[in-house]
């Protein structure tokens, strides 16, 4: 490499100091290639093709409209909560309380509605308020009490679990038919719930990419001290991000209540939404330490998990092996991202 | 501009205690519009703490801050920024994963109808970059890909974008090559003409005398004196800073007879960034390695140390060919590497002094051998040899000043009994008094038979310390100079065809 003017043809992953910017078009190209979502969707396509091949060879049906729709529909709950989880992980935090919050909000939603359409609006409002409150509490515990996010949200999960177990010992409440239709109605072949997923992901995508709040999340996740010394009010950003994450959990809780017809104390933990959402985020290329990644990658990660699930179900693989394979894939994905990042930043 | 009566900034009777220990004792300082006011003092003199109080990072225990005669209290850096205080920290304060424009406007992104106005942000950054004459990178370049000097430019641009009226520059030239320093100076003078008041913290007295209107000396957390630049000279200033005469800035060089056999021989070493580098260092010899940022000095050190793989060539230690694929192998072969960035690569900041000192020896030499090894020093002895000033072996390293941190790094390597030591910018960001101590220590090690390879961007240090100087350019050795070579000769070799390349 030359001293004064090294080559202008640096590859995006190339180390060493940069010199001349090759121009806007190249800059765009670098942006797309360097985007963490690109390899995730490449991986998704690969997983999809392999699954297709394997399932068809074994006499199953894979590439049919019902099967694809089925996979999409099964991605909705995990997709929504993972989108929220992406926000806090980008920030360098995480949220282990989402699974219990999903249970709690499903119960609050269904018992408040209590089978009456007139109660839907107040119930949704109440559930979102509870979600925002839990997120606010998480954020305050992390920033003001300076408790590590892992411990803070683990503690919050236990608190919520205690509240749920104290109040309910089984499914409770009933959602009205009008609300239940959210889980089953289709628009053409596409279930309405898929639009809900798209709406949440799109909202978070736009928020991360175009608003100040989004820029600040990346900044705080990149380096909290640097952000603070640059005059950024980091506590506000952390608290707001946790509110967003908990809101997505509350929406997931409502969605599951509509799908099941009533709220259930174990719907969150049974779905494994806490660790599964973190797995989807990481599989989607977002750095667990924060500052790098995005929600589109997470969506790819959710779909990869859905395709695997579908494949394993069709092949009737035993569930232990299923978990082993998923574990291997998650570890392999993170190892690949680490390699892409290069040894010397 | 404010009228003559009211200074732009006044800090009155500032005291600060951390957990009951007072580190600043009633310091007064003032700054007028368009003035460059230098603050000098040894590490631990309280300069950084004073600046962090001005920046709103710490609250003062006592004292007041007045801006334009109006009392201000900052509980958060954002409040200080809002009041017109911009700070360029010594430790780089950028987000590597974000691009230049995003870093310049972090937390203050321009918005249009709730949406971040990327175009405006990039346009403004581009303008600011052009203003400072920086064309080698643009607003969209990721900071990760910038060199240290380029990052410094981003820092300055970031402070400029704040329209700060009070600008604090904390060791702004520590990482810059000489021609970049000139660029910074012209920028600083331009800001001065615009009426911006600047507090300029530096260990390089030449810069202080070139720029400052007034100089304030701090020592041990107290104010020694504020004086006009014309009232003093570098010698007098050093006396005020250390409270003693500093004679013989550099230790005496070795005699030709002191030199032993070749300990380190590098033969035709190549990596993606190095081209056929060959050199030899003898026992007892200090070989200086000069060159511009990016000329391959650090890359060479990393290659020798086994941190980066070689694509060709070989390395011999004490005449034996060694394949050093990892730093661990290199340490076992008798090498030590004092890295440029002690916080990132040299120290475990949250661990104790003792743990840091024993880190290398514990990990590389198995327990049984360590116990049998003769002459292994205790932590106490290491602290004495390096003249470490600390509260005790259990103190966490992050609470030490830069000079004392560097002594811990040195102690870590001394404990492994190295035959070859590579120093990369051994005194970067370290004050005059501690510098002399580290120079003495390096020479003492050489006298004891260690072969020393020393990288430094500070030419006086390189010239003062080296028995021989190698100059690198574009990943290769551009030439060799004897002891006592002049700065012009070194710069000539280092930059020879810079213009042709540009």
* pLDDT digit string, tens, across residues A230-272: 888 999 999 999 999 999 999 999 999 999 999 999 999 999 9
Nearest to A95 by CA among A209, A219, A199, A250: A250
Mean pLDDT of B11-24: 83
Q: Distance, in angstroms, between B151 CA and closest chain A CA?
A: 10
B495: chain A residues, CB-CB within 8 Å = 3
Q: Distance, in angstroms, between A22 CA and closest chain B CA?
A: 9
d(CA A198, CA A148): 32
Nearest to A91 by CA among A206, A201, A240, A276: A240
Segment A104-130, tens digit of pLDDT: 999 999 999 998 999 999 999 999 999
Q: In terms of DSSP bridges, do strands B286-290 and B451-455 run parallel, antiparallel, or are they unpaired? A: parallel
B431's tokens = 């004050």
> For residue B62, how far is the Cα from the chain centroid?
31
The pLDDT assigned to B43 comes to: 62
The pLDDT assigned to B225 comes to: 87
What DSSP character marks residue A172?
A: B
Average model confidence (pLDDT) across chain B: 84
Of A212, A215, A233, the CB nearest to B78: A233
Among B100-104, B246-250, B354-358, B407-411, name the one with the lowest average pLDDT: B246-250
Contact present, B502 and A3 (Cβ < 8 Å): no
A223: chain B residues, CB-CB within 8 Å = 95
Q: Rounded to 5 degrees, what are φ and ψ at B474?
A: 50, 45
- The set of residues, in sequence order, having a beta carbon less than 8 Å from that of B403 and lying 6+ positions away, is B42, B43, B44, B430, B431, B433, B434, B435, B437, B438
The pLDDT assigned to B249 comes to: 64
Identify the band that residue B498 occupies on the pLDDT scale cut at 50, 70 and 90: very low
Whether residues A21 and B147 touch (CB distance < 8 A) is answered with no
A176's tokens = 């009205």
- Burial zone of B332 (CB within 10 Å; 0-12 exposed, 13-18 middle, 19+ buried): middle
Q: Distance, in angstroms, between B109 CA and closest chain A CA?
A: 6
The pLDDT assigned to A330 comes to: 85
Q: Does B145 touch chain A (CB under 8 A)?
A: yes
Whether residues A229 and B93 touch (CB distance < 8 A) is answered with yes
The helix (H) or strand (E) run that includes residue B338 is strand B335-338
Contact present, A88 and A242 (Cβ < 8 Å): yes
Inform me whether the pLDDT recorded for B141 exceeds 80: yes
The pLDDT assigned to B234 comes to: 77
Identify the band that residue B374 occupies on the pLDDT scale cut at 50, 70 and 90: low
Whether residues B294 and A6 touch (CB distance < 8 A) is answered with yes
d(CA A88, CA A86): 6
A4: chain B residues, CB-CB within 8 Å = 498-499, 501-502
Q: Distance, in angstroms, between A209 CA and closest chain B CA?
A: 8
Identify the band that residue A316 occupies on the pLDDT scale cut at 50, 70 and 90: confident
Inform me whether the pLDDT recorded for B377 exceeds 50: yes
In chain A, the residue whose alpha carbon lies closest to the alpha carbon of B95 is: A222
Q: What is the CA radius of gyration of chain B?
A: 24
Helix and strand numbers (H, E) in chain A are 15, 2
Identify the band that residue A102 occupies on the pLDDT scale cut at 50, 70 and 90: very high
Inform me whether the pLDDT recorded for B2 exceeds 60: no
The pLDDT assigned to A240 comes to: 97
Whether residues A3 and B93 touch (CB distance < 8 A) is answered with no
In chain A, the residue whose alpha carbon lies closest to the alpha carbon of B80 is: A231
- The set of residues, in sequence order, having a beta carbon less than 8 Å from that of A192 and lying 6+ positions away, is A181, A182, A185, A186
The pLDDT assigned to B246 comes to: 43
B41 φ/ψ sector (left φ>0, alpha ψ -120 to 50, else beta): left
The pLDDT assigned to A15 comes to: 40
Of B78, B495, B501, the CB nearest to A231: B78
CA angle B73, B77, B79 (to 5 degrees): 50
The full DSSP string for B148-179 is HHHHHHHHHHHHHHTT-SEEEEESTTTT--HH
Mean pLDDT of B55-78: 90
Segment B406-438, tens digit of pLDDT: 889 888 888 888 899 999 988 877 777 778 888
The pLDDT assigned to A1 comes to: 34
B116: chain A residues, CB-CB within 8 Å = 210-212, 214-215
Polymer length of chain B: 502
A266 φ/ψ sector (left φ>0, alpha ψ -120 to 50, else beta): alpha
Q: Does B96 touch chain A (CB under 8 A)?
A: yes
Segment B169-196, tens digit of pLDDT: 888 877 677 777 887 888 888 888 888 8
In chain B, the residue whose alpha carbon lies closest to the alpha carbon of A207 is: B115
Of B106, B116, B295, the CB nearest to A230: B106
Whether residues A223 and B147 touch (CB distance < 8 A) is answered with no
Whether residues A1 and B145 touch (CB distance < 8 A) is answered with no
d(CA B264, CA B421): 10
Mean pLDDT of A276-280: 94
Whether residues A6 and B502 touch (CB distance < 8 A) is answered with no
Contact present, A314 and A60 (Cβ < 8 Å): yes
Whether residues A4 and B55 touch (CB distance < 8 A) is answered with no
Instruction: Walk me through the domains of chain B, giving residue ranges and CATH numbers.
Output: 9-242 (3.40.50.300), 263-345+418-501 (3.40.50.300)
Of B107, B114, B501, the CB nearest to A231: B107
The pLDDT assigned to B370 comes to: 59
Inform me whether the pLDDT recorded for B20 exceeds 80: no
Identify the band that residue A176 occupies on the pLDDT scale cut at 50, 70 and 90: very high
d(CA B49, CA B42): 13
Inform me whether the pLDDT recorded for A16 exceeds 70: no
The pLDDT assigned to A25 comes to: 42
B97: chain A residues, CB-CB within 8 Å = 218, 222, 291-292
The pLDDT assigned to B382 comes to: 84
Of A17, A18, A219, the CB nearest to B95: A219
B447/B133: higher pLDDT: B447
Nearest to B188 by CA among B151, B147, B159: B159
In chain B, the residue whose alpha carbon lies closest to the alpha carbon of A19 is: B136
d(CA B388, CA B401): 10
d(CA A152, CA B86): 35
B322/A342: higher pLDDT: B322
Mean pLDDT of B111-120: 90
B146: chain A residues, CB-CB within 8 Å = 17-18
Of A16, A222, A233, the CB nearest to B273: A16
B134/B268: higher pLDDT: B268
> Which range has highest mean pLDDT (A14-28, A144-158, B207-221, B343-357)?
A144-158
d(CA A284, CA A221): 17
What DSSP character marks residue B255?
A: P
Identify the band that residue B91 occupies on the pLDDT scale cut at 50, 70 and 90: low
B474: chain A residues, CB-CB within 8 Å = 1-3
- The set of residues, in sequence order, having a beta carbon less than 8 Å from that of A183 and lying 6+ positions away, is A191, A193, A255, A258, A259, A260
Whether residues A227 and B95 touch (CB distance < 8 A) is answered with yes
Whether residues B93 and A216 touch (CB distance < 8 A) is answered with no
What DSSP character marks residue B58?
A: S
Q: Rounded to 5 degrees, what are φ and ψ at B221?
A: 80, 5
Identify the band that residue A30 occupies on the pLDDT scale cut at 50, 70 and 90: very low
Contact present, A124 and A181 (Cβ < 8 Å): no
Mutate to test the interface with B, among A230, A238, A337, A341 (most CBs of B within 10 A): A230
B391's tokens = 């509260």
Q: How far is CA B180 from CA A180, B134, B176, in A?
A: 67, 11, 6
Size of interface A-B (CB pairs under 8 A): 128
Polymer length of chain A: 345
Identify the band that residue B156 occupies on the pLDDT scale cut at 50, 70 and 90: confident
Whether residues A1 and B95 touch (CB distance < 8 A) is answered with no
Mean pLDDT of B467-476: 90
B81: chain A residues, CB-CB within 8 Å = 231
For chain A, the helix, strand and coil percentages under 3-state DSSP, each to the nearest 5: 75, 0, 25
Average model confidence (pLDDT) across chain A: 86
Identify the band that residue A23 occupies on the pLDDT scale cut at 50, 70 and 90: very low
Strand ranges inside B339-467, DSSP E: 420-424, 451-455
Question: What residues of A are in the B interface, CB distance below 8 Å?
Answer: 1-6, 10, 14-21, 27, 31, 34, 210-212, 214-216, 218-219, 222-223, 226-233, 291-292, 345
Mean pLDDT of B15-19: 81
The pLDDT assigned to B19 comes to: 66
In chain A, the residue whose alpha carbon lies closest to the alpha carbon of B111 is: A212
d(CA A38, CA A285): 9
Nearest to B174 by CA among B308, B342, B50: B342
Strand order in the sheet with B451-455: B335-338, B420-424, B451-455, B286-290, B468-473, B476-482
Nearest to B240 by CA among B226, B253, B254, B252: B226
Inform me whether the pLDDT recorded for A13 exceeds 90: no
The pLDDT assigned to A17 comes to: 45
Segment A35-82, tens digit of pLDDT: 667 888 888 999 999 999 988 888 888 888 888 988 998 899 999 999
């Amino acid at each position: 490499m030359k001293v004064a003017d090294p080559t202008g043809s640096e590859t995006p992953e190339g180390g060493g100091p940069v010199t001349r910017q090759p121009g806007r078009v190249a800059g765009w190209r670098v942006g797309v290639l360097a985007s963490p979502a690109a390899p995730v969707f490449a991986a998704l396509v690969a997983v999809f093709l392999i699954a297709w091949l394997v399932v068809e060879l074994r006499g199953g049906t894979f590439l049919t409209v019902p099967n694809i729709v089925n996979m999409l529909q099964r991605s909705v709950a995990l997709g929504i909560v993972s989108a929220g989880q992406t926000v806090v992980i980008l920030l360098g935090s995480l949220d282990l309380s989402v699974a219990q919050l999903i249970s709690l909000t499903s119960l609050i939603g269904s018992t408040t509605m209590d089978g009456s359409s007139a109660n839907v609006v107040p119930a949704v409002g109440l559930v979102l308020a509870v979600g925002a409150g839990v997120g606010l509490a998480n954020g305050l515990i992390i920033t003001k009490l300076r408790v590590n996010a892992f411990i803070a949200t683990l503690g919050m999960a236990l608190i919520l679990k205690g509240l749920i177990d104290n109040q309910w010992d089984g499914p409770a409440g009933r959602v009205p038919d009008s609300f239940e239709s959210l889980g089953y109605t289709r628009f053409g072949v596409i279930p309405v719930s898929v639009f809900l997923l798209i709406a949440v992901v799109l909202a978070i995508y736009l928020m991360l990419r175009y608003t100040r709040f989004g820029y600040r999340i990346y900044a705080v996740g990149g380096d909290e001290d640097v952000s603070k010394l640059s005059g950024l009010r980091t506590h506000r950003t952390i608290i707001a991000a946790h509110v967003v994450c908990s809101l997505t959990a509350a929406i997931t809780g409502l969605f599951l209540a509509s799908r099941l017809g009533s709220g259930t104390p174990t719907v969150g933990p049974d779905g494994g939404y806490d660790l599964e959402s973190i797995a989807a985020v990481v599989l989607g290329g977002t750095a667990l330490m924060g500052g790098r990644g995005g929600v589109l990658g997470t969506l790819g990660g959710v779909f990869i998990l859905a395709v695997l699930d579908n494949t394993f179900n069709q092949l009737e693989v035993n569930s232990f092996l299923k978990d082993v394979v998923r574990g291997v894939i998650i570890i392999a994905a993170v190892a690949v991202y680490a390699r892409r990042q290069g040894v010397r930043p | 501009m404010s009228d003559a009566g009211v200074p732009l900034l006044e800090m009155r009777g500032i005291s600060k205690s951390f957990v009951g220990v007072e580190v600043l004792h009633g310091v007064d300082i003032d700054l007028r519009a368009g003035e460059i006011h230098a603050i000098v003092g040894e590490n631990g003199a309280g300069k950084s703490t004073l600046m962090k109080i001005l920046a709103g990072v710490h609250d003062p225990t006592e004292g007041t801050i007045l801006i334009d005669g109006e009392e201000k209290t900052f509980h958060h850096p954002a409040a200080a920024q809002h009041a017109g205080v911009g700070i360029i920290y010594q430790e780089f304060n950028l987000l590597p994963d974000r691009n230049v424009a995003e870093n310049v406007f972090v937390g203050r992104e321009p918005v249009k109808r709730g949406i971040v106005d990327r175009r405006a942000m990039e346009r403004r950054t581009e303008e600011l970059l052009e203003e400072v004459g920086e064309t080698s990178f643009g607003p969209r370049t990721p900071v990760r890909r910038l060199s240290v000097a380029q990052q410094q430019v981003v820092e300055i641009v970031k402070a400029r974008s704040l329209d700060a009226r009070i600008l604090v520059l904390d060791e702004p030239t520590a990482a810059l090559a000489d021609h970049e320093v000139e660029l910074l100076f012209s920028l600083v003078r331009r800001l001065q003409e615009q009426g911006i008041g600047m507090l300029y913290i530096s260990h390089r007295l030449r810069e202080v005398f070139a720029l400052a209107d007034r100089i304030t000396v701090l020592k041990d957390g107290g104010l020694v004196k504020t004086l006009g630049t014309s009232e003093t000279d570098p010698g007098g200033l050093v006396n005020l800073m250390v409270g003693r005469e500093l004679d013989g800035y550099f230790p005496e060089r070795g005699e030709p007879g002191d030199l032993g056999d070749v300990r380190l021989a590098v033969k035709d070493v190549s990596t993606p960034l190095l081209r056929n580098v060959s050199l030899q260092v003898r026992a007892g010899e200090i070989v200086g390695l000069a060159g511009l940022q990016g000329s391959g000095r650090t890359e060479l050190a990393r290659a020798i140390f086994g941190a980066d793989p070689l694509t060709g060539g070989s390395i011999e230690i004490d005449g034996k060919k060694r394949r050093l694929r990892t730093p661990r192998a290199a340490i076992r072969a008798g090498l030590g590497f004092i890295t440029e960035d002690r916080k990132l690569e040299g120290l475990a900041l949250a661990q104790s002094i003792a743990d840091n000192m024993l880190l290398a020896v514990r990990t590389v030499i198995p327990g049984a051998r360590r116990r049998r090894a003769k002459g292994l020093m205790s932590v106490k002895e290491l602290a004495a040899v390096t003249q470490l000033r600390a509260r005790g072996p259990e103190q966490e390293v992050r609470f030490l000043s830069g000079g004392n941190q560097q002594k811990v790094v040195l102690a870590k390597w001394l404990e492994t009994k190295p035959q070859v030591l590579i120093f990369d910018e051994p005194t970067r960001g370290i004050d005059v008094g501690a510098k002399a101590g580290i120079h003495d220590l390096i020479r003492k090690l050489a006298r004891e038979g260690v072969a020393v390879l020393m990288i430094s961007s500070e030419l006086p240090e390189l010239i003062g310390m080296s028995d021989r100087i190698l100059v690198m350019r574009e990943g290769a050795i551009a030439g060799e100079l004897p002891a006592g070579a002049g700065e012009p000769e070194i710069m000539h070799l280092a930059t020879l065809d810079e213009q042709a390349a540009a």
